[in-house]
Amino acid sequence: MAEREVDRSVSQTVKAQLALRDQILSGSLRPGERISELQAVETTGASRTPVRMALVRLEEEGLLEAIPSGGFMVKAFSERDISDSIELRGTLEGLAARFAAERGVSARELEPLKECLAAIEELLRQVPISVDAFSSYVALNARFHALLTELSRSPPLIRQIDRASALPFASPSGFVMAQSALPEAQQILIIGQEHHRVVIDAIENREGARAEAVMREHARLAVRNLRLALRNRTHLDLLPALALIKTATD
């Protein structure tokens, strides 16, 4: 193993996967660019075997694409790919909300969701919102959606939603808004909280159809939001944006 410094606390495969994902999301590797295994070995500090395992995982995750002649390249996405992914995710979340409503959720299980919503609304009360508060919002919003998904009690659905989240959560809309349109963004986010409130209410009252409908509407709001944010951009500089805002504004 020569003089290579090895961190034994986490597996090399996981370390490589995290490092490579970070490179992709941060823009060190640009969409369409081929990933060199050798280079990945150098930058991650792992050897080729764990690097290759990480590459396979990232391909399955949707961030990489296999090149027929061998190797992998960073996947590129169109605006429609992103908006479709947001709608797709909203559809699955709608199903999760419906499952939660139909299968019943105790008041105790709903509590964390309500607390999360309260925290978000508290954040959004300051106008205009600060960049710091916005990034707190992003984390809390991700938590809200994760908690909601869990309430479906459906492992296959939860798994699919996780897989469907890569693109929506990496949506550039959050990035664009954070840069130039924070006040406008805030207005949209406040509307989004109304959706959050309704879905909790619908689940409490076991109204499956209403719970599902509001989550789908919630996604459509995010799509409109994305379109708005991208209107004046000539091209999608997508992946680099992912590192800055790791979750969407939905």
Per CB under 8 A, contacts with a copy of itself among 161-190 are 163-164, 167
CB atoms within 10 A of CB 67: 11
Q: Which residues contact 118 (CB under 8 A, 6 or more apart)?
A: none
Residue 103 CB, shortest distance to a copy of itself, in Å, is 10
* Count of chain residues binding a copy of itself (CB under 8 A): 28
Should residue 220 be labelled a site residue for a copy of itself when binding is judged by CB under 8 A? no
How far are the Cα atoms of 50, 96, 176, 200 from residue 207, in angstroms, in the given order?
47, 13, 36, 10
Strand-pairing partners, residue 34, are: 73
Instruction: Indicate left, alpha or beta for 47 from its phi (over 0: left) and psi (-120 to 50: alpha).
Output: beta
For DNA, which residue of 20, 29, 35, 117 counts as binding (CB under 7 A)? Answer: 35
For DNA, which residue of 63, 71, 144, 208 counts as binding (CB under 7 A)? Answer: 71
The answer to whether the beta carbons of residues 239 and 166 sit under 8 Å apart is no
Should residue 121 be labelled a site residue for a copy of itself when binding is judged by CB under 8 A? no
How far are the Cα atoms of 1, 15, 40, 157 from residue 9, in angstroms, in the given order?
17, 10, 20, 32
Should residue 9 be labelled a site residue for DNA when binding is judged by CB under 7 A? no
Q: Which does 37 bind (CB under 5 to 8 A by kind): DNA, a copy of itself, none?
A: DNA
Residue 74 CB, shortest distance to DNA, in Å, is 12
Helix (H) or strand (E) holding 60: helix 48-61
Site string for DNA, 129-158 (x = CB under 7 A): ------------------------------
Query: Closest Cα to residue 165, out of 239, 55, 86?
Result: 86
Should residue 127 be labelled a site residue for DNA when binding is judged by CB under 7 A? no
Give the whole-angstrom CA distance, residue 250 versus residue 165.
12
What one-character DSSP code corresponds to residue 33?
Answer: P
Q: Which does 91 bind (CB under 5 to 8 A by kind): a copy of itself, DNA, none?
A: a copy of itself
Site string for a copy of itself, 12-51 (x = CB under 8 A): -------------------------------------x--
Backbone angles phi, psi at 107, to 5 degrees: -60, -35
Q: Which residues bind DNA (CB under 7 A)?
A: 1-2, 4, 6, 8, 11-13, 34-38, 46-50, 52-53, 69-71
The site for a copy of itself (CB under 8 A) is made up of 49, 52-53, 56-57, 60-62, 77, 80-81, 84-85, 87-88, 91-92, 95, 99, 154-157, 159-160, 163-164, 167
